[in-house]
Structure 1
Amino acid sequence: MLALMQESAPEDDMPHAPGPVSRALREAPPDQLVEAADRAVRSALDASRTDVFIADYRISGLWPVLDPELPAAGFLACHTVAQRCFSSQQPVHDVDEQGRCRLYLPLTTWGERLGVLLIELPRAPDAATVQVTVDIAGDLAVALRAADRETDRYRRVRRRERLSMAAEMQWDLLPGRSVTHGAFLLAGQLEPAYTVGGDHFDWSVDGDRLTVTVLNGAGTGLASSVLTAVTVNAMRNARRSGGTLVEQAELASDTIFYQHRGSRNVPTLLLELDTGTGRARAVDAGSPHLMRLRAGVVTRIELEQQLPLGMFADTRYAAQELQVEPGDRLFVVSDGVYAATPDGAEPYGHRSMARAMRSTRLQPAAEAVGTVMRELHAYHAEADLRDDAVVVCLDWRGSAGRDGGWQR
């Protein structure tokens, strides 16, 4: 039997205190978090088994940490249910013929989807125990995300092949891959995941201000990645110093120009959203393409295209105003998505991309970026992408959603 955990099971005598697990995570070395959680969960909940499944860079699969040699049949069964949990972001359980219950819980922090926690219990849990396990999964997700700065263990699980040096830099530079907030949902994805060079996205939320930047990286390989890193950090420097969207663009442009004297430039879209009102400002420096899905219709938002960052000295930029309505979904895509023309086909952005975007209207943002990327791969007949590609999806829920605050 397989089910989402929406109905409470009969009450039982399982302990309902996550304290020992939280304490074990605080005391564990960063590379031993999964083992510490395993011991604490087994003791606190009388569990017979736990495991952690981590999503790979392409978000194409979930891979076990504790039991990497899981037999193929057992892995396939666990992976199928774990994938359902990961996609729905809801606890899911199945019960075998002996009455043992395998409970799958999303490992998510601030909307960043890391993977799934498996807990095998002697019987179906009651509602209070399910809530305890949800809290445990939340604590473990926060600990795993923090541990990435101190250990390579979990990053090794995420990579299914070796990253190029450029891709290594790009993934380290990212803010994350998704964010859930009371007022908005936000997600992004890079491809080709293991060799991406210059395309990139960045974001930050500060009070009622959400800033999103998407870079259409120039060139390929390590040189492209270094140029992107300089650009992103210049914009961050201005933003963290209180600079406006225009000042962020101008500092990045000046930094690039005085490094390369106009021989290199970075087409970039800078977007700032007031999460309370939906008022947005944009600087189109070159740029990636801004698309809006509203009431089932995909429309390109035409902005005044200004010079790419770094093309000339002392370039000055102007911001444009636009209004986002509750329920609007915005996509930002790089040329590697919009202008993809495999085997002489018409550009992906002419018709096929809009169909893919419309098909996401019932999906959350984190699933929507995956759908657009999968359709892009299908458009290439599953061949390797010829150019870097980035997709960012932003849903604004409207001011009524703000009271929900941050969600984990």
Structure 2
Amino acid sequence: MAIRHVLIVDDSRLQRRILSASLVRWGYVVTEAESGEDALEKCAENPPDLVLSDWMMPGMDGLEFCQTFRQMPRESYGYFILLTSKSEKEAVAKGLDCGADDFLTKPVNGAELRARINAGERILQMERELTEKNKLIGTTLEQLQTLYDALDSDLIEAKKLQQSLIREQHRDFGAAQVSLLLRSSGHVGGDLVGFFPISATRIGLFAIDVSGHGISSALMTARLAGYLSSAAPDHNIALRIQEDGSYQALPPSDVVGRLNRIVLEEMETEHYFTLLLADVDLSTGRVVMVQAGHPHPVVQRADGSTFMAGVGGMPVGLFEAAQFDQSELTLEPGDRLVIQSDGVTECPDVCGEMLDDEGLMTILSDLKEIKGSAMLEALVWRLADHAGHEDFPDDISAILLEFRGPSEQAG
């Protein structure tokens, strides 16, 4: 029962006794008050579920008592019925404005009183159920917030770990310098860029973009990073150790083909990824690369002119019979190679128009005098200007290779 405790407020002792007798017979616990002031004290001591209050009383009348009753702090709603001889619509409206829920005309009819209390019982029962559900929702939300905070903390740490996959964001090889950019659209992402030494005159470059976003993409990215590691060349599948302890690079097409088999045969995943893998000869400027579904890289000549390079290709991890063709280009002193993810060229403006290849080449022409990591940071600023904000919808990653020429090759 939602209604157990009933407070009767009436300056007439006889009226209180008549109502109390019926209510006690029906199984309610009854408290009596002879005035509005007395009723407020009893409400403070033991809040009732239902109040039956006379309208006309000396001192504080029923309306004043109802208004004050509504202002009292309570854990649950208290139902209020005014007893009155008034039946005019204006009086009823005034009573409702003061907080009354229902009315009973005096003298009170027992059957009508029972019916009004039953109506109040239904309303209070719904209110109690709603309160319990709200408490449950509140508790659930608190638990979810705790879980979210823990997950958010874990994702922040995961972002730090993913950033640590890029051991160096810049390295000067003498004949060339390499700069890296990685900016995830969320806490963690599916992009990865890096480089690894092959010999004194050769380096490998790789740019990976795993399908999707979030934790599963980031985990696959981390696993792929191990296959092209610069820290552990023995585990780098692009390298083969020689009898004298030096390393020889395998053809990029063979390396990408092997990665394709690893993904399809050893990884239980629905993800695939695009990859650009390049073997750069620092003594000649010759670049041999495989462009497995990755965007066409941009070559910027020393005079500032730009063009898209590469022959395209299928992403890695889709088809067993996929072929990965190599292409070549030669860099001259003063040239640079930009290997970017599709998050760059597909960056939308406020109208949804993508930057596209032409837009990227325009930006690179504008930034031709800026070198190294500063150029990549300037690229991000230009993307933010294009998008109208810095919250990019996709991961942004890029490699900048700036070729000086063999005369500056480090010892």
Which TM bucket (shorter chain)?
0.5 to 0.7
CA contact (8 A) 2:185 2:393 kept: no
1:299 equivalent in alignment to 2:307: yes
**Alignment partner, residue 266 of structure 1:** 273
**Alignment partner, residue 215 of structure 2:** 222
**1:254-307 per-position Cα deviation (integer Å, ceiling 9, x unaligned):** 111124568321111111110000111010101133001111122111x22222
The Cα of 1:189 is off from its aligned counterpart by 0.9
Equivalent in 191, 209, 213 of residue 206 of structure 2? 213
Q: How many residues align?
A: 243
Runs of at least 5 residues in structure 1 that lack an aligned partner in the other structure:
1-160
**Alignment partner, residue 392 of structure 1:** 399
**Alignment partner, residue 29 of structure 2:** none
**Alignment partner, residue 174 of structure 1:** 166
**Alignment partner, residue 180 of structure 2:** 188
* Structure 1 residues 267 and 375, CA gap change in structure 2 (3 angstroms): same
The Cα of 1:354 is off from its aligned counterpart by 2.1
Tell me the amino acid that sits aligned with residue 192 of structure 2: H
Structure 2: distance between partners of 1:166 and 1:247: 32
**Alignment partner, residue 200 of structure 1:** 192
**1:36-59 per-position Cα deviation (integer Å, ceiling 9, x unaligned):** xxxxxxxxxxxxxxxxxxxxxxxx
The Cα of 1:355 is off from its aligned counterpart by 2.7
**1:319-348 per-position Cα deviation (integer Å, ceiling 9, x unaligned):** 222111111111111010011113334321
- For residue 296 of structure 1, give the secondary structure of its aligned residue in structure 2: coil
Greater relative contact order (Cα < 8 A, sep 6+): 1
CA contact (8 A) 2:191 2:208 kept: yes
Equivalent in 310, 313, 321 of residue 320 of structure 2? 313
Tell me the amino acid that sits aligned with residue 293 of structure 1: Q
**Alignment partner, residue 39 of structure 2:** none
Structure 1: distance between partners of 2:383 and 2:253: 32
* Structure 1 residues 260 and 202, CA gap change in structure 2 (3 angstroms): same
**Alignment partner, residue 362 of structure 1:** 369
* Structure 1 residues 333 and 195, CA gap change in structure 2 (3 angstroms): same
Structure 2: distance between partners of 1:192 and 1:223: 14
CA contact (8 A) 1:356 1:371 kept: no
Q: In angstroms, what is the RMSD of aligned CA positions?
A: 2.3
**Alignment partner, residue 105 of structure 1:** none
**1:213-270 per-position Cα deviation (integer Å, ceiling 9, x unaligned):** 0112211111001111222322442124343322321222111112456832111111
1:53-202 to structure 2, matched below 5 A, reads 164=156, 166-192=158-184, 195-202=187-194
Tell me the amino acid that sits aligned with residue 177 of structure 2: L
Equivalent in 336, 352, 356 of residue 329 of structure 1? 336
* Structure 1 residues 354 and 317, CA gap change in structure 2 (3 angstroms): closer
CA contact (8 A) 2:185 2:391 kept: no
Tell me the amino acid that sits aligned with residue 300 of structure 2: L
Equivalent in 374, 391, 396 of residue 381 of structure 2? 374
CA contact (8 A) 2:300 2:307 kept: yes
CA contact (8 A) 1:263 1:311 kept: no
Equivalent in 270, 274, 278 of residue 285 of structure 2? 278
- For residue 238 of structure 2, give the secondary structure of its aligned residue in structure 1: helix
CA contact (8 A) 2:180 2:194 kept: no
Q: Which structure has the greater CA radius of gyration?
A: 2
* Structure 1 residues 189 and 318, CA gap change in structure 2 (3 angstroms): same
**Alignment partner, residue 115 of structure 1:** none
Tell me the amino acid that sits aligned with residue 293 of structure 2: G
The Cα of 1:351 is off from its aligned counterpart by 3.8
**Alignment partner, residue 346 of structure 2:** 339
Tell me the amino acid that sits aligned with residue 266 of structure 1: F
CA contact (8 A) 1:254 1:315 kept: no
Tell me the amino acid that sits aligned with residue 375 of structure 1: R
Structure 2: distance between partners of 1:213 and 1:171: 16
The Cα of 1:316 is off from its aligned counterpart by 4.0
- For residue 398 of structure 2, give the secondary structure of its aligned residue in structure 1: strand
Runs of at least 5 residues in structure 2 that lack an aligned partner in the other structure:
1-152, 230-235, 241-247
CA contact (8 A) 1:337 1:376 kept: yes
Tell me the amino acid that sits aligned with residue 190 of structure 1: L
**Alignment partner, residue 124 of structure 2:** none
**Alignment partner, residue 71 of structure 1:** none
CA contact (8 A) 1:272 1:280 kept: yes
Tell me the amino acid that sits aligned with residue 214 of structure 2: G
CA contact (8 A) 2:180 2:400 kept: yes
Tell me the amino acid that sits aligned with residue 291 of structure 1: V
CA contact (8 A) 1:234 1:255 kept: no
Structure 1: distance between partners of 2:374 and 2:286: 25
Tell me the amino acid that sits aligned with residue 338 of structure 1: T
CA contact (8 A) 2:185 2:392 kept: no
The Cα of 1:168 is off from its aligned counterpart by 3.0
The Cα of 1:389 is off from its aligned counterpart by 0.8
Structure 2: distance between partners of 1:162 and 1:363: 37
CA contact (8 A) 1:262 1:312 kept: no
**What TM-score do you get using the length of structure 1 for normalisation?**
0.55
